[in-house]
Amino acid sequence: MSKNMLISNANQVVTMAGHSVNPAKKEAMSHLNVIENGSIWIENGRIVEVGPDDVIREKYKIQISSAEQVDATNKTVTPGLVDPHTHIVHAGTRENEYAMRLQGKTYMEIMEAGGGIHATTRATQEASFDELYKESKKRLDKFLLHGVTTVEAKSGYGLTLEHEIKQLEVAEQLQKDHPIDLVSTFMGAHAVPLGDKKDPERFVDRVINEMIPEVAKRNLAKFNDVFCERGVFTPEQSRKILEAGKKHGLIPKIHADEIEPYAGAELAAEVGAISADHLLKASDEGIQAMAKAEVVGVLLPGTAFFLMAEFAKARRMIDAGVAVALSTDQNPGSSPTISLPFIMNLGCLKMGMTPEEVLTATTINAAHAIGFANEVGSLEAGKKADITIFDVPNYLTLSYQYGMNHVDTVIKNGKPLVVGGRLHELSLSDA
Ligand code: NIG
Ligand code: FE
């Protein structure tokens, strides 16, 4: 059991309070509920109270002397960041394709020639459980170092029952062993395997009749995701796969309108997806439909940046009433980064979001995108003590001094896991 803890005297505590039941939309995305000179009292890994330093010190003065203390003077405290869309469980890298794209080849051309997702699928199928586990764990450690305490992780580089299960079991084991909270998504419909190109429906049948029931039976995933894109899965195939998942208790998510407009946003609204992700080419009708159906829009500006594509229309979505979240999309092909703070920078500089909106989008709205806002995403009494302390005097500086890691301390379930910008090995091993 972790000790009681006092985090004291932060220049700013960005609480994000008040958005736990419903995600923040429109102007509410700018309501951060900041406490100046703020402190946080933590017991048994949970937040008990957040308030002005003098108030907290007075109220808990008897317990404070025996508690662990973290001085946050001159620093900015936020909820532990939440990344709601990653492909961290995979083997290998694709820097060769990066070089090809810099010479003018497109992402889809490389995939159609058997590279892209297919290349990572080959590497992931060949990797043993232990190899996959080690590679993925390293990525999780790096996420922690960048202030992230909750991560969604997708399968989708197995593409056979055996290898999809292997990926999801790696995520399950990491959820047990690693202090970061992992939320798993089944994404068997990430690509049509090269051997099924002539008859994609056969593969769709396997996803529906073989993979989904087994994944659900073993309780290996909470969500079911599909790459709905021209040349990958059609809207009709995607609908069938998402509806089949629903019958087995898997909540739909969609990779929607990433490369071409393909009515993915509309489909997300129709099937009641918890989120539609990417949305670079989402139509105005699709955006309206998402707002109405309360589908969270998960934007991945790192992917647009890395694929040198047009950015998603974040402003239009927020103004239309879509709750927007941000994510890295961590994967070896279209977004090989783990820096969610850099994604926040891109949100401001490339998608017209405000520094307030990008914080909302990487904390409480990101938590809503993975159905976890009852536990994480804000600093409020009763929530997990998942807290990031940045070595900057105010949150504005986070989106101003870009491309560098400002994380000083990361606390997960009330335990310090990153201290002074470095992994704190002792707490990692007993976390
Ligand atoms: O979200 N679009 C499909 N899937 C990933 C990329 C996966 C890969 O290239 O390996 C994405 O961009
Ligand atoms: Fe993705």
User: pLDDT per residue over 234-283, tens digit each?
Assistant: 999 999 999 999 999 999 999 999 999 999 999 999 999 999 999 999 99
Pocket test for ligand 1, best of 89, 329, 337 (most atoms within 8 A of CB): 329
Q: How far is the CA of 329 from the centre of ligand 1 (A)?
A: 8
Single out the residue of 409, 320, 393, 328 nearest to residue 366, CA to CA: 328
pLDDT of res. 431:
46
- Write out pLDDT tens, residues 19-69: 999 999 999 999 999 999 999 999 999 999 999 999 999 999 999 999 999
Exposed (0-12), middle (13-18) or buried (19+): which is 428, by Cβ within 10 Å?
A: middle
Q: Is the CB of 116 under 6 A from ligand 1?
A: yes
Q: How far is the CA of 372 from the centre of ligand 1 (A)?
A: 24
pLDDT of res. 27:
98
85 CA closest ligand 1 atom index:
1
Residue 429 has a CB neighbour count (10 Å cut-off) of: 7
Which phi and psi angles does 381 have, rounded to 5°? -55, 135
- Measured distance CA(98)–CA(311) in Å, rounded: 19
Q: How far is the CA of 425 from the centre of ligand 2 (A)?
A: 31
Q: Which residues contact 365 (CB under 8 A, 6 or more apart)?
A: 19, 23, 24, 29, 296, 323, 324, 325, 377
Q: 420 with 391: CB under 8 angstroms?
A: no
- Measured distance CA(263)–CA(285) in Å, rounded: 9
Mean pLDDT for 125-150 is: 98
Which residue type, as a one-letter code, is found at position 111? Answer: M
- The CA–CA distances, whole Å, from 86 to 21, 186, 347, 402, 427 equal 24, 12, 17, 22, 25
- Write out pLDDT tens, residues 171-200: 999 999 999 999 999 999 999 999 999 999
How is 318-375 classified by DSSP, letter by letter?
A: HHHTPPEEE----BTTTB----HHHHHHHHHHHH---HHHHHHHTTHHHHHHTT-TTT
Which protein residue has the closest C-alpha to ligand 1 atom 6? 334
- Ligand closest to Cα of 336 equals 1
Q: Is the CB of 380 under 6 A from ligand 1?
A: no
- Identify any residues that bridge with 253 across adjacent strands, giving them in sequence order: 225, 275
Q: Is the CB of 120 under 6 A from ligand 1?
A: yes
Q: How far is the CA of 63 from the centre of ligand 1 (A)?
A: 49
Q: Is the CB of 117 under 6 A from ligand 1?
A: yes
Exposed (0-12), middle (13-18) or buried (19+): which is 375, by Cβ within 10 Å?
A: middle
Chain centroid to Cα 203, Å, comes to 28
Q: 76 with 390: CB under 8 angstroms?
A: yes
Q: Is the CB of 362 under 6 A from ligand 1?
A: no
Query: Two tokens at 217?
Result: 């039976």
Q: Is the dihedral of CA 274, 242, 139, 404 positive or negative?
A: negative
Q: How far is the CA of 20 from the centre of ligand 1 (A)?
A: 30
pLDDT of res. 429:
55
- Ligand closest to Cα of 107 equals 1
Q: Give the strand pairing for 324-326 and 34-43.
A: unpaired
Which protein residue has the closest C-alpha to ligand 1 atom 9? 333
